Amino acid sequence: GDLVSIADTFGMQLFGELDYVREAKNCERFRELYGGWEDVVVPQACTSLTRKKVLIMEWVEGTKGPWMGSDGIEMVRIGLRCSTDQLLRTGLFHADPHRGNLLRTSKGHLAVIDYGMMADIPESDRYGLIGLV
């Protein structure tokens, strides 16, 4: 695997970002992988009501970063663990993890939202990333 092919994968995902049916399916895939984590919140998409231009999904209450002090350090720790797992183990990568797509819940969990820009990293590219480290 090489970085050029990974960049190409992200570029191809960008064109599918505005398809809400695809986004709902991405959310459900992400939920299957990370919804069971004790400190990560993944909203449930309502795929039966979602259409190409209408997305129906569970509301998540939380605050956008930046988070200060120990709360901020904990959110970064959770986010790094989740992102590393995406890149190196599962291959399903949330390619848009900015402060508008990450929330801190009242319980101190990291809520990940907006699944429009996702990438599937092939196993060979994941091994290539491991080789860079």
| CA–CA separation, 113 and 85 (whole Å) | 17
Inter-residue contact 76 to 99 (CB < 8 Å): no
Residue with tokens 């004790």: 38
- Please, which residues bridge with residue 104 across strands? 63, 110
Query: What number of other Cβ atoms are within 10 A of residue 1's Cβ?
Result: 17
14 residue type, one letter: L
Q: How far is CA 65 from the centre of its chain?
A: 16
The answer to whether 25 and 52 are in contact (CB under 8 A) is: no
Question: Structure tokens of 24?
Answer: 């709902």
Which member of 19, 39, 85, 96 is catalytic? 96
Is residue 120 among the annotated active site residues?
no
Q: Which residues are catalytic?
A: 96
